[in-house]
Amino acid sequence: MRKQSREAWDALTPKIRTALEAATPEHSDRLWAAGILNSIPARYHVRLVKGYAENLRAQGRRLANLAILEIGEQFQNPVSLTATADEISDAARQAANAAWRVITQYRNEGSACRALFELAERYRIEPPHRDDFAKIVNRMTSQHWWRRKLRRQFQKAEAAFIRMGFVHKHAAAYLSDEAYSRFESQQRSNAHLLSSMEAVNVETGESITLDELAEHSLSNPKNRRAEVMVRVKGIEHHADRIGYRGLFLTITCPSRMHARLSGSGVANPKFGGSTPKHAQGYLQSNVWEPARAKLGRQGIDYFGLRVVEPHHDGTPHWHMLVFVKPEHEAELLAILRYYAMRADPDEPGASEHRFKVEIIDKAKGGAVAYVAKYIAKNLDGEGVGVDYESGDAGSTSAPRAVAWARQWGFRQFQPFGTPSITIWRELRRLRELTPAQEALFGAVWKAADEGRFADYLHLQTDKAARLAPLWQEEESARYRGEKSRRVIGLSIPVANGNPVEFITRGARWEIRLRDTEVEGENARLSSPWTRVINCTGLDLRGSPGNTLSSGECFTGHHEATVRANRRRQEKEKPPFGIHPAGRLKNTDLTGERIAP
């Protein structure tokens, strides 16, 4: 062991050895760190040793050693921190195939299940916690499931990068460069996939390329920003009509959850090693949820929108647009302030930064003026100019903010106290109504169709008369033998009667490879991908030594399995903007559940 440590030390460059000697007087720590560095590409060594030295000074030996150890462990994973989207997909496919091989080696479910969980442990991921063996098999033989799990693993590496000082305004704002490179790679991969596929209407033969659909959907940041701004403006107008007052709040985490100081970017000596996910959990579970419960007990009505965005070191904070009755304003603020300041209330700067309140001034442009910048800087950077949090141009920092939210699984914009946005989007899919349909829900449809969100909120205020999503349960397109559900229309309340079901997604679409010169005959011969799976159910009676493939072992029908494996969930038609697949004609409705 000592010989290996000495060899690892000798393998480092003189510059890195000198930096380690300057960082720590502990000879054993130097040799131990050298062993970790030798498992990591040399291009990271300078940054790692610099971060290690800073953490030793600011946080002590234990936390500094833990941070560099975690980074070293991440480089031992099956998927490299610098992996592209294609490499992650390849690793997911190999893992799914390995799971199939494991299953075919065992005669009983118990042995196969234990072997599958051992496979998950080798990949350092949590296995699916399900009692149903068929569901475990469905997931661990799914490339999609493995890809999602492998991507989530990067959160551990990102947390270590934060602790090592790789994430702050003077290094890489919001998230590490490695994480942002993976995000860009995934965006390129998605764009390539969308350009090679098309959606085809089974009844009419109409075809639309998926990249065109994406351009007109909410996956386009410009469309998403436009919809959020329409909602903010409508919420404010609705609040004005009913006499509510607008407040703009900012809630941040205690100092111990910030890895770096805001100005200099140097290590925060109070940092306790928490991750952005821990910080978001603190804001949600320790501040917002108990405050909301208290407000409910006090009978205080309020509504608005929450925006979550990163500090330069990746720690989240919230901006909240809140509307409340003037007579309840003081009590609402007192309750929110209490829970926001409950942890570490006496630390320096807490009273100035942890809970900020601004009364919305109409002379300054109203609620839209207060939140427009925060919405844009977390989507596309339109009109932001310089992002003072990161020091970069808004157009540069906005994609990093989006990548940060996806890295940690945060929902950037969250309305509260308002009706479901799903109904608004479903209504906007409709181009026109018949007279009978107009009589049922014409007013709320017209408000949505014309973009009058304030009128939509007013018409949806009465819960007894509020439209609701209509769900349909169907066979899962991802996990055979299981059920999933999707929105297919609207449930419309009727006085003194049962709700009327109105279908907004009556057309059947298939996702296919585009018939281009590059694909030629292969595209025309490819099986379509639909929401419907026609293969047989799982038959978990395979035995070791079978000459059948993994798919045949569990279905008994090889051809059905091949067809099923090529199917994917149909991309939903975009709910925003005027587009052939986004604004349905009346002929697309089934007409079977509503009066003509």
Q: Which residues of 521-539 are buried (b: 16+ CB within 10 A; e: fewer)?
A: eebeeeebbbbebebeebe
135 with 81: CB under 8 angstroms? no
480 with 564: CB under 8 angstroms? yes
What's CA 497's distance to the chain center, in Å? 40
Three-state secondary-structure class, residue 565: helix
Interhelix angle 85-104/177-195, rounded to 10 degrees, is 80
DSSP 348-397: TTHHHHSEEEEEPPGGGTHHHHHHHHHHHHTTT-TTT-EETTTTEEHHHH
What's CA 307's distance to the chain center, in Å? 14
Residues pairing with 20 in the sheet: none
DSSP 439-465: HHHHHHHHHHHTT-HHHHHHHT--GGG
449 with 428: CB under 8 angstroms? yes
- Nearest-angstrom CA–CA distance, 245 and 380: 30
Q: Which residues contact 338 (CB under 8 A, 6 or more apart)?
A: 291
Print the SS3 string covering 281-301: HHHHHHHHHHHHHHHHHCCCC
In order of 80, 151, 552, the CA distances from 156 in angstroms are: 13, 10, 37
Looking up tokens 């700067």 gives: 349
The burial of 254, by beta-carbon neighbours within 10 Å (0-12 exposed, 13-18 middle, 19 or more buried), is given as: buried
Q: How many CB atoms lie within 10 A of CB 197?
A: 18
Q: How many residues does the chain have?
A: 596
Q: Cα–Cα–Cα angle for 266, 152, 568, nearest 5°?
A: 145
Enumerate the active-site residues: 370, 374
DSSP 186-214: HHHHHHHHHHTEEEEETTT--EEEHHHHH
- Nearest-angstrom CA–CA distance, 282 and 315: 11
Largest CA distance in the chain: 87
